Amino acid sequence: MFVSFRASAQKTSIWRQLHSATVNASRPAQAHYNVVFDIDGVLIKGKQLIPQTQRALQLLKENNVPYIFLTNGGGVRESEKADQLTKKLGIPVSPDQLVLSHTPMRSLSKKYRDANVLVVGGKGSDCRRVAEDYGFRKVVTPEEVHAAYPSVCPISFCEARPVPLTDSHLQNVNKPVEAVMVFHDSVDWGRDLQVCLDALVSQGGKLGTIKDSNELHSTKQSVPIYFSNPDVVWSNEYPVPRFGQGTFKMCLEKVYQHLTLQELESTTFGKPMKPTYQYAEAILDNIAPLQKDAGQVQKRTVYAIGDNPYADIAGANGYGWNSVLVKTGVFRPQGEENHHLHPATAVVDHVEDAVRWIIAKEQMKKQL
């Protein structure tokens, strides 16, 4: 029996090797260009998959084109987002293919690892878990501040949670805030604007305190603030675009300026900011290393497909990538025109058209 099993196993192994060789022989070599997808308004509309999405991804698979996802969305860990996309798209998606708006903020953990960081945005404790996953050891959220001090925002209601906040969640509420980090869109603008502002005008980051009038108008904000993206609007299944984190940022800036007569200083990540594209290119270097040709490393050719001219197209153009603008999201042209401020390399109806245009362009280049 053992000999028979071993012989069978050897035959199976040989068959797999032959089958693999046949598949590899029939499959084209890995393309020398890459595709970078936005998600909302390009592949997905709210909770619905855009009809042309799966065919677009299949075309890339057939042509062996490496691709990643670069989005100003987030609010969960990259592994959770990859699982969500896998179920939604019907294909395996790895966390290594994902750059969320707050993914580059991971680098801030080196500076603020042991600082008490106010993490804003997202549902429940999702963004707290993201921050802890990135290496931030002391995190406090506006929800936790509100739970400890209901009068911090009397117009907002402390909703009952499926899992109540524990002492471990509330242990950092009374410690001075050393940085504010907006990881994702706020789910309670009134409360979050209030708590962020409290930290910015406080005495040394201590919530519940405020600088005296002279100091308030003559000194900089008490703590630094970071935003994960500047999107003023984004697209879901509603007929017209919805407010994004950039609108929250604008509101906070206006209120801060009104109270202090000074400009709010901040650092912003996400598209169209250069650090986000540098991070994305590093991801591409990992999943699709550039080949050497006669000792020279080839230049990477990247096509970014997006629906938001002010984020996707402006960012890609500024970083030297090719940009393809689809009409299924924020961009709603009257006819066939390009965007007036941030013109894309190409404008198409939907994501499948975008992928077909990219493949056709690359095939044409080969023939020249």
E strand spans, 147-300:
179-182, 225-227, 233-234, 242-243, 267-268, 292-293, 296-297
pLDDT digits (tens, 9 = 90+) for 102-134: 999 999 999 999 999 999 999 989 999 999 999
Q: What confidence category does residue 346 fall into, taking pLDDT thresholds of 50, 70 and 90?
A: very high
* CB-CB contact of 173 with 198 (8 Å): no
Dihedral sign (CA 108, 112, 114, 119) = negative
Distance CA 170, CA 142 (A): 11
Name the CATH topology of 29-101+274-367.
Answer: Rossmann fold (3.40.50)
Distance CA 223, CA 252 (A): 14
What residues does CATH 3.40.50.1000 cover in the chain?
Answer: 29-101+274-367, 103-268
Q: Which amino acid is at 95?
A: P
- The pLDDT, as a whole number, for residue 366 is 85
The CATH number that domain 103-268 falls under is: 3.40.50.1000
What value does the mean pLDDT take over residues 291-319?
Answer: 89
The torsion angles phi and psi of 184, rounded to 5 degrees, stand at -160, 175
pLDDT of 139-187, one tens digit each?
Answer: 999 999 998 999 999 888 776 666 667 777 788 999 999 999 999 999 9
Band of pLDDT at residue 367, cut at 50, 70 and 90: confident
* CB 260, CB 201: distance < 8 Å: yes
pTM here is 0.86
Q: Is the pLDDT of residue 4 over 60?
A: no
What are the tens digits of pLDDT across the range 36-71? 999 999 999 988 999 999 999 999 999 999 999 999
How far apart are the C-alpha atoms of 56 and 354, rounded to whole Å? Answer: 8
The pLDDT-based confidence of 28 (bands split at 50, 70, 90) is: confident
Residue 160: what pLDDT? 60
pLDDT in tens, 73-100: 999 999 999 999 999 999 999 999 999 9
d(CA 184, CA 245): 7
Residue 9: pLDDT over 50: no
Is residue 333 within 8 Å of residue 33, measured between CB atoms?
no
Which pLDDT belongs to residue 170?
83
Considering the chain, what is the average pLDDT of its residues? 90
pLDDT of amino acid 55? 97
Other C-beta atoms closer than 10 Å to the C-beta of 182 total: 29
**What was the pLDDT predicted at 245?**
97
Query: pLDDT per residue over 128-146, tens digit each?
Result: 999 999 999 999 999 999 9
Burial 105-128 (b: 16+ CB within 10 A, else e): bbebbeebeebbbbbbbbeebbbb
CA triple 267-252-183, angle to 5 deg: 50
